[in-house]
Amino acid sequence: MWPLPLMYWDCATEAKARDGVAGCGNPAPTAPTDYGMLEAKIPTKKTCDATALVDTTLKKLFKDGAKKQASNAFDAANKDFNQVSLLRMATNLHMAYEATTAIGCSYKRCGSELNLLCFYNKDPATIAPPLTKIYEETNTLCDGCNGGPAGANDCVEALCKGSQPAALNEPTMCTAQASKLLMTDDLRKMAWNLHDYYRRLLATGWAEDGKIKYAKPAAAMPKLEYSCEMEEKIAPATNACDGKTAALTEPNNVAILNTLALTREEALKQAIEDWWSALKKTGVEDNKYSDSMEGQPLQKYVNMAYDKTTALGCGVDICQKIGKTIVQCGYVVDTWVSFITNQN
């Protein structure tokens, strides 16, 4: 069997499943666009172990579906088998479609049944052109992972790590961008609001300065906009998870964190706080830029604080295959100044 990708649990997808199962079938749950769905109604007794029931049910679905599969050929009628269950994480059994990388489930007791609902970020039945195989086969373990059989860093217990997929995303921002699903609206708003929060501290005279206690108030600090065009330049590069970031001519800040333990939101918040922290740690008593700031932490602060900046756009990705989390934000400025440069 060609190695399948490691599955990730997506909390946004779980929330969608929780909403879907809340009505106990009224209305009938529907999957998000292009998502796969698995629904099971499990008979229960008055008291039951929900975890054990779900585990037993998923294993039975896999076992029953496997009996119907004479080969790895795609059979649209065998839809439960074509989805990917928790078994891929729990026991390395493979319930299906190799392009599926994220899952979220929920359940609710409905009368004498436990209703289980799972959504998957790929539905093989909606793929065009139509699938002929559920997965590609091979005789060599990890043959299809990045780096091939020797690519141990991209293969965990026979599953390819890859990069963490974007969460279930139904954006209302940046909907015209090709990369619209690489960021979530929550991440966009967090980046936007945190930048405005720190700039507002400067405008009101409450930004802590390492030399004069509080930085001199800004005379005219504009509120930022979120730039989908800037995001489009950045997000595909961070999502590639090759350790590189977007090579921009515009001012930008980068944080490459040597951890996989943070959520994307936590990583973004930590990066922005760190970029701004140079003001408190070092200070800029005369509010003037000097050549000595170039390439130093203060330059990242400058990129955030510059009063001719009008917009920003960001990319944030947790990169399992390289063991790092990458954050990059770029800035749109009305008046170009030479001291604002790439902060790799």
Instruction: Count CA atoms within 13 Å of residue 181 on its CB side.
Output: 11
- What are the b/e assignments for 294-322, b being 16+ CB within 10 Å? eeebbbbbbbbbbbebbbbbbbbbbbbbb
Please answer whether residues 124 and 283 qualify as being in contact, where contact means their C-beta atoms are separated by less than 8 angstroms.
no
Rounded Cα gap, residues 283 and 296, in angstroms: 13
- Bigger pLDDT: 82 vs 249: 249
- Whether pTM > 0.85 for this model: the answer is no
User: Across all residues in the chain, what is the average pLDDT?
Assistant: 80
Instruction: Count CA atoms within 13 Å of residue 7 on its CB side.
Output: 29
Kindly tell me if the per-residue pLDDT of 75 is higher than 60: no
Rounded Cα gap, residues 154 and 320, in angstroms: 8
pLDDT at 343: 41
Kindly tell me if the per-residue pLDDT of 56 is higher than 60: yes
Which sign, positive or negative, has the C-alpha torsion 260, 265, 266, 272? positive
Please give the DSSP secondary-structure letter assigned to residue 340: -
Q: Which of 83-97, 187-201, 311-325 has the lowest mean pLDDT?
A: 83-97
Please answer whether residues 303 and 343 qualify as being in contact, where contact means their C-beta atoms are separated by less than 8 angstroms.
yes
Kindly tell me if the per-residue pLDDT of 1 is higher than 50: no
Kindly tell me if the per-residue pLDDT of 131 is higher than 50: yes
Task: Tell me the mean pLDDT in the region 118-133.
Answer: 70
pLDDT at 5: 52
Tens digits of per-residue pLDDT, 91-115? 322 344 455 778 889 999 999 999 9
Strand pairing partners for 117?
Answer: 39, 106
Task: Tell me the mean pLDDT in the region 14-36.
Answer: 89
Helix or strand (DSSP H, E) at 209 = strand 208-209
Please answer whether residues 230 and 182 qualify as being in contact, where contact means their C-beta atoms are separated by less than 8 angstroms.
no
Residue 11: band (very low, low, confident or very high) from pLDDT cuts 50, 70, 90: confident
Identity of the residue numbered 240: A
Q: Which residue has the tokens 């029931």?
A: 53
Q: Which of 1-15, 109-123, 170-184, 321-335 has the lowest mean pLDDT?
A: 1-15
- Bigger pLDDT: 219 vs 335: 219
Kindly tell me if the per-residue pLDDT of 17 is higher than 80: yes
Closest among 219, 181, 216 to 32, alpha carbons compared: 181
Task: Tell me the mean pLDDT in the region 133-141.
Answer: 69
pLDDT at 340: 36
Please answer whether residues 284 and 237 qualify as being in contact, where contact means their C-beta atoms are separated by less than 8 angstroms.
no
Closest among 272, 269, 305 to 289, alpha carbons compared: 305
Closest among 84, 86, 66, 88 to 75, alpha carbons compared: 66
Residue 135: band (very low, low, confident or very high) from pLDDT cuts 50, 70, 90: low
- Give how far Cα 112 sits from Cα of 42, 49, 311, Å: 8, 14, 55
Tens digits of per-residue pLDDT, 161-219? 665 555 566 788 999 988 888 998 989 999 999 999 999 999 999 999 888 899 988 88
3-state secondary structure of 188: helix
Kindly tell me if the per-residue pLDDT of 3 is higher than 60: no
Query: C-alpha 195: how far from its chain's center?
Result: 20
pLDDT at 69: 63
Q: Which structural domains are found in the chain, ordered by start?
A: 5-161 (3.40.33.10), 185-333 (3.40.33.10)
Please answer whether residues 5 and 146 qualify as being in contact, where contact means their C-beta atoms are separated by less than 8 angstroms.
no
Task: Tell me the mean pLDDT in the region 115-136.
Answer: 72
Residue 4: band (very low, low, confident or very high) from pLDDT cuts 50, 70, 90: low
